[in-house]
Structure formats: structure tokens, C-alpha cells
Amino acid sequence: MTASFIPPKRILMGPGPSDVPQRVLEAMARPTIGHLDPAFVTLMEEIKAMLRMAFKTENALTFPVSAPGSAGMEMCFVNLVEPGDKVIVCRNGVFGGRMLENVKRTGGVPVMVDDAWGAPVSPDKVREAFKANPDAKVLAFVHAETSTGAQSDAATLAKIAQEYGALTIMDCVTSLGGTPIHLDAWGIDAAYSGSQKCLSCTPGLSPVSFSQKAIDKIQSRKTAVQSWFLDLNLVLGYWQSAGKRTYHHTAPINPMYGLHEALVILEEEGLENAWARHRAMREKLKAGLEALGLKYVVEESARLPQLNSVYVPEGVDDAAVRAKLLADFNLEIGAGLGDMAGKIWRIGLMGYSAKQENVDYCLNALKACLK
């Protein structure tokens, strides 16, 4: 007979998921109730309110999609892009490439703005793309590129889109809760994130937020949204104001408990305090990594506090070091993706993982392995 699965206890310092606080795990073990239960509706409303706090927005349509961040991404594209719509897609890493795939599958016409992996998106290139394509309907970019640790200037990029009357779709999977996001001040129309990064919940939920301009676009579509499950015209009935819920799907009840608790923890700490903690832990990690002779991939001005990419030293076996960290220290760090596979390590300081003992432990473990 198969025994129950008992996972090893790891310290998660890769590109996600991050360590999950015991409070969140305990919240997820509470009794399951129905997805239309009045008590669960109350929980949904509280999650929406706390997500608005985290996104810095008043958008009424702010909620967690019942699926991981990739589904949040797809929800944005399938609802806002119709066949024939021009979409300016910024690609400076893996996840800009995934945006491109979404545009193609919705029948949109992609206009690419490419930057080197490790560099932020160039506002000048975006402006030139709009000058050449003033009829573009959407600008799509990654705020925090998880594959490299580069952060782009979302406020400037959104302003350029607004000058041309285009909507913006922003990937903030790695930035929400860890680095400043101001959806309303920046004028972002659609944003998606993930529960497992700086929010320190388990994977499987994707917080999203849509502006009124985005909702107007969705409601005036000439074609049906190609995905039934992600069609916001249908999902709206489940996430609208309390007392008017209509059945759409069975929400993942217990993971929602976990996200609620994770957001309560963020609210208790204070959003600005959480941002400051991530910056402070990054400075301590940076000093230690540089003392070990490790070089950063991203220029200082564009580095994410919560994701630190460094080059694997010459002559060092990337996979062997990561395997030793896992086997001897129960420590997970991330490998490079795509063209950077085997060339870089991605060290995460996300949410609950961004603390002094983790920084010290990681530096000591790396020092031992690099000997």
C-alpha cells in the first residue's frame, strides 16, 4: 500500500514558490465550506479589498483567478485582444515571449519590441513602435522579468501607451507585494500576478485587476472571448458584489483561505514596510554575493530586490552546485532559463523568504559549495 507523501523541508530561495508561513498552511487546513456559502462570499469580498490594497488600485474588478499566474496572463489577453488587433509586445526575457504566444493564439497582430535579456524594456523603443503603429490597441510588458531579475519602468511605459490611446497589460507576477506597484497612479488597465511569489501563499491562484477602460473594451467586443472558463463576461457574475453571486465554477476553497491569510499578514506588516524589507534583505545578500566574487546579470538601476540573478563562475558546474545545495543544505535556488540555462543562478528573496536568517544561510551554503 502506498504511504502518505511527506515532503522534505526545504528553504525556498529560487524564483518561486517562496517559503509559506505556518499561519497560511494552518489556514488552508480549516474546514471546507461551499463556494456559494454566505461565509465564503464574505471571504471573497475581503480578498478583493486586500488585493486592491496590494495593487494600489480602486478597480472594482480585482480578484484571484482560480488557476496559476499563467491563467491570469491568458485571461488578460483573451479578453482584451480580438482577432486583427495590433499588440505591441515587449520581450526582454522568457515571460515577454509567453505574452507573444498569447497574442498569436488570440488572433492578434504582434509588434515586437526586443531588448537584451537582463536589460529593462526600453521606453524609447516602445515609443518608436507606437510611432510606426499608431493604431496599436494594446501595450503588453513584464514589470518584473522573472527569468533575469530585471525591472522595467512601468509608469513611463504606461504613459506612452496612454498617449496613443492604447490599453496596457502588465505582468507583475514577481513584483506584487515585493516592489512598488501603483496600478491607478500609473494607469495600468490589466495586471496579473501569482500567489506563490512575494505574497508567500501556495501556488495555484492568480490575482488580477482590470480598469474600467478594460471592462468597457471587454463589453464592447465584436467577437466572443475564445476561452469559456476565462471569459470575464461570465466570471463577473461570480465575483460581483456580495448577495448577487451566480454559479460559474467551484472555487478552490482552501487555497482561498491561504491567500486570505497571506494578505492579512501583508496588511499587518504594511505594504510599504514589505517593500522596504525586500530592499534591505537584497542589500545584505548583494554584499555577501559580491564578497564571494559573484557578478550580477542586471545593472544596479534595474535590479529587482526580490530576484537576484548572478553569473555562474567560470569552471563551476551549475547543476552540481544546485544539486549539492539541495542535498546537503535543503536549499533551493533557481537555474537560468532559455539562453541563460547553465550560465546564471536566480536567487529569490520573496515574501516570507526575505529574512536575515535565510540570507545568512544561503551565503554560507554557497560559500561551502563553491569551495
The pLDDT value given to residue 243: 62
φ/ψ bin of 342: left (φ > 0), alpha (ψ from -120 to 50), beta (otherwise): left
The percentage of residues in the chain with a pLDDT greater than 70, rounded to a whole number, is 99
Q: Is 156 exposed, middle or buried (0-12, 13-18, 19+ CB in 10 A)?
A: middle
160 and 294 co-located in one domain: no
β-strands 190-192, 331-332 pairing = unpaired
The pLDDT value given to residue 235: 86
- 4 domain-assigned: no
Residue 163: pLDDT band with limits 50, 70, 90: very high
235 and 290 co-located in one domain: no
Q: Mind listing the pLDDT tens digit for each residue in 279-326?
A: 999 999 999 999 999 999 999 999 999 999 999 999 999 999 999 999
Judge whether 208 and 192 are in contact, CB under 8 Å.
Answer: yes
The pLDDT value given to residue 238: 81
Q: How confident is the model over 1-18, as a mean pLDDT?
A: 97
Of the residues 219, 236, 266, which one is the last residue of a structural domain?
A: 266
Q: How far is CA 224 from the centre of its chain?
A: 27
147 and 101 co-located in one domain: yes
Q: How confident is the model over 117-144, as a mean pLDDT?
A: 98
258 and 357 co-located in one domain: no
Is pTM beyond 0.85 here? yes
Residue 240: pLDDT band with limits 50, 70, 90: confident
Number of residues assigned to the chain:
371
In what order do the strands lie in the sheet containing 190-192? Answer: 61-65, 206-210, 190-192, 167-171, 138-142, 86-91, 109-114
The number of distinct structural domains making up the chain is 2
Q: Has residue 242 got a pLDDT over 80?
A: no
213 and 318 co-located in one domain: no
258 and 322 co-located in one domain: no
Judge whether 248 and 235 are in contact, CB under 8 Å.
Answer: yes
Cα–Cα dist 56/38, whole Å: 27
219 and 275 co-located in one domain: no
164-186 as b/e, with b when 16 or more CB fall inside 10 Å?
A: bebbbbbbbbbbbbbbebebeeb
Of the residues 241, 266, 291, which one is the last residue of a structural domain?
A: 266
Cα–Cα dist 243/178, whole Å: 33
Look at residue 143 and give its three-state secondary structure: coil
The pLDDT value given to residue 247: 79
Q: Has residue 168 got a pLDDT over 60?
A: yes
The pLDDT value given to residue 339: 87
Cα–Cα dist 297/210, whole Å: 33
Judge whether 64 and 54 are in contact, CB under 8 Å.
Answer: no
- 139 domain-assigned: yes
Any idea what the CATH number is for the domain that residue 32 is in? Answer: 3.40.640.10
243 and 354 co-located in one domain: no
The pLDDT value given to residue 330: 98
237 and 280 co-located in one domain: no
**Domain span including residue 230:** 23-266
276 and 225 co-located in one domain: no
- 2 domain-assigned: no
Please list, in sequence order, all residues whose beta carbon lies within 8 angstroms of the beta carbon of residue 180, skipping any fewer than 6 positions away. 275
- 185 domain-assigned: yes
Cα–Cα dist 72/287, whole Å: 35
Q: Cell numbers 501603483 correspond to what residue?
A: 182
Q: How many CB atoms lie within 10 A of CB 358?
A: 21
283 and 352 co-located in one domain: yes
Q: How confident is the model over 317-346, as a mean pLDDT?
A: 96
